[in-house]
Amino acid sequence: MRVSDIMTRSVVTTTPRAPVKDAAVVLAGHGVTLLPVVEEGDRLVGVLTEADVVRGRIPPDPRRGAWHGSQAGPPPPATVGDVMSSPPLTAHPHTDAAELATMTIDRRLRSVPVVDQDRLVGIITRRDLVRIIARDDALIAADVRRRLECYGGPDRWAVHARNGAVTITDQYANPTDHHVALVLAQAVPGVVHAKIMHFTSQPA
């Protein structure tokens, strides 16, 4: 399964010249944790995270005894370009989704922009990954079945899915076909494991 199979293609973005305040409104209003920062032609130049927005923008509570009636230093930077993270960590549409999932866990990333030749084409979040894992078993089995029917015909395969684990039963004992069937099955969103069995009678 590739990133392009599960990424969100409609992406909310901002620009380097946008005020941080406006970007904060977008983050809060859309319920996202990261905004890709793009220039002309959807060229990705950075990302704006919740941390980038919050940093230096929550003043001390004046009711605290340590507050002296003024803030030292200049006001925080005003534009997205001043506070964004650059260069951004990205993925390619052909990146293996398993590799991306490991990267998000190891680096504690909640969202990763997807780029093709520096152009933003989508975004993938941990929620996208969780949504795939939560996919209904009946839909998973149906997708696997459709792919196998295109390869070996409509009456050859029996497919069952339980908790994302797929079992394929084939009436023929062909190792090459079995290898292809497993490759096709494991590329279906929501499949966490796949195995193949052989039987000699026609599937019911």
- Same domain, residue pair 104 and 128: yes
pLDDT at 204: 43
**Is residue 22 in some structural domain?**
yes
CB 75 within 8 A of CB 82: no
- Same domain, residue pair 174 and 112: no
pLDDT at 183: 94
**Is residue 171 in some structural domain?**
yes
Q: Residue-wise over 5-33: b if at least 16 C-beta within 10 A, else e? A: ebbbeebebbbbebebeebbebbeeeebe
- Same domain, residue pair 159 and 190: yes
pLDDT at 154: 82
Per-residue pLDDT tens for 135-182?
Answer: 999 999 999 999 999 887 888 899 999 999 999 999 888 899 999 999
Phi and psi, residue 129, nearest 5°: -65, -40
Pick the last residue of a domain from 111, 133, 155.
133
pLDDT at 71: 59
Per-residue pLDDT tens for 21-36?
Answer: 999 999 999 989 999 9
* Nearest C-alpha neighbor of 27 from the set 122, 99, 87, 110: 110
- For the cut 90, the answer to whether the pLDDT of residue 194 exceeds it is yes
**Is residue 71 in some structural domain?**
no
What lies within 8 Å, CB to CB, of 198 at 6+ separation is 169, 170, 171, 172, 173, 178
**Is residue 148 in some structural domain?**
yes
- Same domain, residue pair 115 and 166: no
- Same domain, residue pair 127 and 192: no
**Is residue 114 in some structural domain?**
yes
- For the cut 80, the answer to whether the pLDDT of residue 103 exceeds it is yes
**Is residue 189 in some structural domain?**
yes
Give how far Cα 29 sits from Cα of 9, 12, 26, 39, Å: 19, 11, 5, 22
Total domains in the chain come to 2
- Same domain, residue pair 36 and 129: yes
Pick the last residue of a domain from 96, 111, 133.
133
**Structure tokens belonging to residue 166:** 């797929």
pLDDT at 63: 72
Tell me which residue range forms the domain holding 178.
137-198
**Structure tokens belonging to residue 45:** 């130049």
- For the cut 80, the answer to whether the pLDDT of residue 98 exceeds it is yes
CATH of the domain at 53: 3.10.580.10
CATH of the domain at 185: 3.30.1340.30
**Is residue 203 in some structural domain?**
no
- Same domain, residue pair 122 and 37: yes
Q: Residue-wise over 114-139: b if at least 16 C-beta within 10 A, else e? A: bbeeeebbbbbbbebbeebeebeeee
Average pLDDT, rounded, for the chain: 89
- Same domain, residue pair 111 and 187: no
pLDDT tier for residue 68 given thresholds of 50, 70 and 90: low
pLDDT tier for residue 61 given thresholds of 50, 70 and 90: confident
Pick the last residue of a domain from 133, 154, 173.
133
CA 113, CA 89: separation in Å to the nearest integer? 7
- Same domain, residue pair 169 and 98: no
- Same domain, residue pair 85 and 183: no
- Same domain, residue pair 84 and 183: no
- Same domain, residue pair 123 and 165: no
pLDDT at 123: 96
**Is residue 68 in some structural domain?**
no
pLDDT at 70: 60
